[in-house]
Amino acid sequence: MQLSTFLIQVLNGVQYGMLLFLIASGLTLTFGVMGIINLAHGAFFMIGAYLVFQFTRFWGWPLALAYVAAIAAVVALGAVVERTVLAPLANRDHLDQVLVTYGLILIFDELAVIQWGKDVQPAEIPAFLRGSVHLTDMIIYPVYRLALAGAGLACAAGLYLLVARTRLGMIVRAGSVDRGMVSALGINVAPIFALVFGLGAALAALAGILAAPILSVSPGMGDKIIIIAFVVVVIGGIGSIKGAFVGALLVGLFDSFGKVLFPTVSSLVIYALMAFVLVWRPTGLFGKRA
């Protein structure tokens, strides 16, 4: 493989990986801290993208405002969903959680169709991020994709600081090791859960907004990517942000190189990766050992 091809695939892999990280981090936090498997997490991804579409295309808002408002709206929606539907599920078995969140998927997908129709909507790259840049004299790479990767890395750094250096982060880490203990210590977990869940929703919405120009906006976009996010979480280990980061990078890179090296079976490559990890570490690379 030529060096330039190699570098481009690395960049593609990192960019896709960062997108996946934004979604997977919320997923893994929700399960690790709150004990809830949320199949409908992809809905935040979809709704974030659609809201920006709505705000800019129909209401003519400036892009920056649309971004912020969309994320805020999704966080609010997430808070409502968490309090009403998910909190009662916290102590029920995983099967019930799967069923209820699957019901939510059906509802959200259909609401999106009702509001915006079934067609795939295009989304525009913000003007100042258009075009490509010369990384070397051989490699030309779209600015937007670099920005996406950069945004993801910035969020990863921010999350790391949050989890490792703040009091909230300490509670999150404690909670993912022993949930019951945290509330037994007298810490009021409800607002913490709401905060964590809201953060996850915000990150997923951001991912949707950033991905929209590349993937386009459609009612099923959340369903497709949530499975890959699950693969990331299984590979990385549930409840671990570090695992979500490493897992997302691995999946992104394997997918990217897989498309070039094994074009006929490229979509299977990441599942082969997951199979290998499961055989070697049934609880993921950084998950709690049973």
**80 part of the interface to another protein, by CB under 8 A:** no
d(CA 141, CA 13): 13
Please pick, from the candidates 3, 68, 107, 181, the single residue that binds another protein as defined by CB under 8 A. 107
* Complex with another protein: residue 20 or 274, whichever CB lies closer: 274
State the DSSP code for 126.
P
d(CA 93, CA 79): 22
Cβ-based burial of 111 (10 A; exposed 0-12, middle 13-18, buried ≥19) = middle
Task: Give the per-residue contact string, 220-259, with another protein (x = CB under 8 A; - = no).
Answer: ---x---x--xx-xx---x---------------------
Please pick, from the candidates 64, 114, 127, 184, the single residue that binds another protein as defined by CB under 8 A. 114
* Complex with another protein: residue 19 or 151, whichever CB lies closer: 19
d(CA 126, CA 110): 28
**Dihedral sign (CA 137, 141, 142, 148):** negative
- The least CB distance from residue 93 to another protein, in Å, is 8
Of 64-72, 131-139, 160-168, 265-273, the segment contacting another protein by CB under 8 A is 265-273
Q: Which residue has the tokens 């405002």?
A: 65
* Complex with another protein: residue 56 or 101, whichever CB lies closer: 101
Please pick, from the candidates 6, 59, 103, 170, the single residue that binds another protein as defined by CB under 8 A. 103
**106 part of the interface to another protein, by CB under 8 A:** yes
* Complex with another protein: residue 88 or 158, whichever CB lies closer: 88
Residues 22-41 that bind another protein (CB under 8 A): 31, 37
**264 part of the interface to another protein, by CB under 8 A:** yes
Task: Tell me if 122 sits within 8 A of 218, measured CB to CB.
Answer: no
Task: Tell me if 80 sits within 8 A of 47, measured CB to CB.
Answer: no
**102 part of the interface to another protein, by CB under 8 A:** yes
- One-letter amino acid at 153 equals L
State the DSSP code for 2.
-
Please pick, from the candidates 117, 131, 158, 282, the single residue that binds another protein as defined by CB under 8 A. 282
Q: How many CA atoms lie within 13 A of 111 on its CB side?
A: 12
Q: Which residue has the tokens 């120009």?
A: 213
